[in-house]
Amino acid sequence: MGSINILLVDDHDIVRDGIRLLLEDEIGFNIIAEAENGQEAIQACEDYDIQFVIMDINMPKMDGIEATHKIKEQYPDIKILALTMMDEDEHIRNMIEAGASGYILKSSDKAELVDAITTILDGRHYFSEDATQRVMMDLVKSSGPNKKRDPANITEREHEVLELIVKEYTNQQIADEFHISIRTVDAHRRNLLQKTGAKNTAGLVTYAIKHDLVELE
């Protein structure tokens, strides 16, 4: 992977300074621009060769949701990672719908931030474990006729396994349910991760709900 040009967008200097410090020693991450609101973010994408945006949600003048939508509309190849707080679940969902490839909490450490960026650059989604469950429930409440069906073409058995993963079954419990080996369950889980582009169990559950593949009680 070559050098990636990154845009930091947050209305608080201390947040941008903190992210810059976390990434400054990372080879291949080049922070070439910063913005304090969505309007400045769009302008920065016009002025610089931006490839990746770390985007705050709540900002003055133009929030991260509107900015994400406009940037993805004009520059579809730019990847966007949302910065979130614990109390922003509805906004997180709106960011994903606007085109963000994932979200991370502002309290996350360097390892998770780097992992999130590299995961998204690899063409997958990244969902912070700490906020995922509440966001998934929000997705359930907001489900509607315009939700996309499964584009991953998972098999019937993989679908059955996914349903139990959503219900928080362990691999052993899934194996017992279908009278198969844990090794076979592991294989189904790997296939699901590969087909959906999810990074972990949280990503699988979010994918399943977004694409209306399961129903939660």
Same domain, 122 and 185: no
The answer to the question of residue 138 being in a domain is no
Question: How many residues comprise the chain?
Answer: 217
Q: What is the CATH number of the domain that holds 165?
A: 1.10.10.10
Q: What is the CATH number of the domain that holds 87?
A: 3.40.50.2300
Please, which pLDDT band fits residue 1 given cuts at 50, 70 and 90? low
The answer to the question of residue 145 being in a domain is no
Same domain, 125 and 182: no
Same domain, 129 and 180: no
pTM: 0.64
**79-84 and 29-35 as β-strands: parallel, antiparallel, unpaired?**
unpaired
For residue 147, is pLDDT > 50? no
Last residue within a domain, chosen from 100, 118, 133 = 133
The answer to the question of residue 142 being in a domain is no
Same domain, 25 and 117: yes
Residues 6+ apart with CB under 8 A from 65: 57, 91, 94, 95, 98
CB atoms within 10 A of CB 48: 13
Q: Where are the strands (E) in the chain, listed by range? A: 4-9, 29-35, 52-56, 79-84, 102-105, 126-127
The answer to the question of residue 18 being in a domain is yes
pLDDT tens column, 181-202: 999 999 999 999 988 888 777 7
The answer to the question of residue 121 being in a domain is yes
Residues 6+ apart with CB under 8 A from 119: 102, 125, 126, 199
* Closest C-alpha to 214, from 165, 170, 155: 165
Host domain of residue 123: 4-133
The answer to the question of residue 216 being in a domain is no
* Closest C-alpha to 207, from 76, 113, 195, 105: 195
Query: Which residues are 29's β-sheet partners?
Result: 4
**Per the structure, how many domains does the chain have?**
2
The answer to the question of residue 150 being in a domain is no
Last residue within a domain, chosen from 66, 100, 133 = 133
Retrieve residue 132's tokens: 């995922």
pLDDT tens column, 75-95: 988 999 998 875 566 677 778
